[in-house]
Each structure stands twice: as structure tokens, then as C-alpha cells.
Amino acid sequence: MHTIPGAFQKLQTLYAEGEAAIESGDLETAVAKFTEGIGIDDHFRQRYITMYAQRAFALQKLGRLEEAIADYTSAIALGEPPENQAQYYFHRGLALQSLPAKDDARKANVERAIADYGASIELYADHPGPYHLRAKLLVNELEKYAEAIGDLEKTLSIRENADARQLHGFACFNVGRIDDAREDFEQVKAASHDPYADYMLAAIAAKTGDADALVLHAKQALAGDASYKSYFADDDDFAAYRSNPAFAALLG
């Protein structure tokens, strides 16, 4: 029980004012309200959500990532319900992967983010976000394609997602699951007409020795984005086809 007269009512007011400030987009005011409340009682919560969690969200939206990470850590330590904690691990992972860093520091943040996405999944397995973002880091940062495929398949089993579909195709391509990669990029192309899909379909055709399909997809990729010309001219995947007259003509 609070010994400061009127403390409970003051905490309720600060919490409500902080929530209203977030809702209106006044994030600095929200941070100030929750900071004041934490100074009175850092365990106070409404609907099982602590002020640390609310302040963390506002700080993250402001781009004050180190502070947000510290507050998410405090919210996790206070033992909120598992579904809430899953969200905090997820958002802490987002903040970690967004921290500006290079080389070893970047790798450490990526690995911490991956661990947080795993913790989020352990607490609440039915949200696609942690699977998707963990896979994205595994593909783009660590080139662990085989590990990423399971997460991407889980993501897609919950909800179709264009980025996850594309990542799944790329990961499959890199582990030699060529038919699966082709199917993915055909779906991406049908849904979005993204020239990257044609570029990857051209790479798949090169891998399988289908020169006609290679030329067709290269032509369509270049029609959508001429910058792919340098990739067709330089990437080793296409070296064996540069003497093909139709392909050579596309490269000018």
C-alpha cells in the first residue's frame, strides 16, 4: 500500500495521461508522464501493463533505442503476463537490430535480437512477426539460409507475406531447393510484378540450364529496372550465358 497520500490516484492519473499522449502522438509528454510515475512507484501497472512497458514503446517510437531497450528489460523483469512479455521481447529485438553499429557490435546486436525473437516465440508461438524478423536477420545478416527456411515457412503458414515469400525463395535458391525457389518467385511476380522476381527467375534458369527462360526473365527484369544490367553483366551465375547471342544483345 502506498504511504504517500494520494499516490495511487496520482499514479492512475499519470498513467492515463501518458496513454493519451501516446494516442495523440505527443511522445515526449508520454515519456515525461511515465517517468514521473516510475519515480513514485516503478511497479505500478494498469491492465497488467507497467509504466516501463509504456515508456519503452514511446521511447522506441522516438528513436531513443538504448533507453527503450533498458525499459523493455525492466518490463520483462517485472513479470507481466506471458503474452505481454512476448511483445516486449519482440520489440526489444526490433530495437536491438535497429541500433546503429558496425562490425562486431552489429553482429552482437543481431545475435541478441535473434535471441529475443526466439524468447518471444517461446512465450507466444502464434504471432508471425518474430519468425519473419528472425529469418530476415538469418538471411540478410548471417547468411544462415537453412535455419531461416523453417521460420519463413511458419510465417507463411500463419499469413501470406510478400517479403517472407521472397526471402523464402532466396533462401531456397541458396540451399539448392530450386523448384521451391522458382515457385516462390513466380508467386512474387504474379502478385507484384517486381523486377527482382524476374531477376531471380533468370538466375534460377541459369542454374538449371534453361537459356530461353533466362533470356525471357532477364528481358522482363531489365524492362522493369535497367539497373539489373550490371548484375547480369558481372554476376558469376550468368557467366556461361554471356556468349549466348540473345542474352548478349540484352547487355548491349
Q: What confidence tens digit (pLDDT) does each residue in 199-226 have?
A: 999 999 999 999 999 999 999 999 999 9
- The residue range of the domain holding 54 is 7-92
Tell me the pLDDT tens digit for each residue of 226-250: 999 999 999 999 999 999 999 999 9
Last residue in a domain, options 70, 92, 114: 92
Range list of β-strands (E), 80-164: none
Domain boundary among 92, 107, 123: 92
Global pTM exceeds 0.85: yes
- Beta carbons of 145 and 174 less than 8 angstroms apart: yes
pLDDT at residue 1 in the model: 43
Count of alpha carbons within 13 angstroms of residue 181, beta-carbon side: 22
Q: Which helix (H) or strand (E) holds 134?
A: helix 128-140
User: How many separate domains does the chain show?
Assistant: 2
Query: Strand 45-46 and strand 49-50: pairing?
Result: antiparallel
Residue 200 inside a domain? The answer is yes
- Which of 35, 60, 92 delimits the end of a domain? 92
Domain harbouring 77, CATH code: 1.25.40.10
pLDDT in tens, 147-197: 999 999 999 999 999 999 999 999 999 999 999 999 999 999 999 999 999
Residue 57 in domain: yes
- Domain membership of residue 232 (yes or no) is yes
Would 39 be classed as within a structural domain? yes
- 152: in domain: no
pLDDT at 2 over 60: no
Q: What percent of the chain has pLDDT over 70?
A: 98
SS3 161: coil
Measured distance CA(228)–CA(250) in Å, rounded: 11
Are 48 and 84 in contact by the 8 Å Cβ rule? The answer is yes
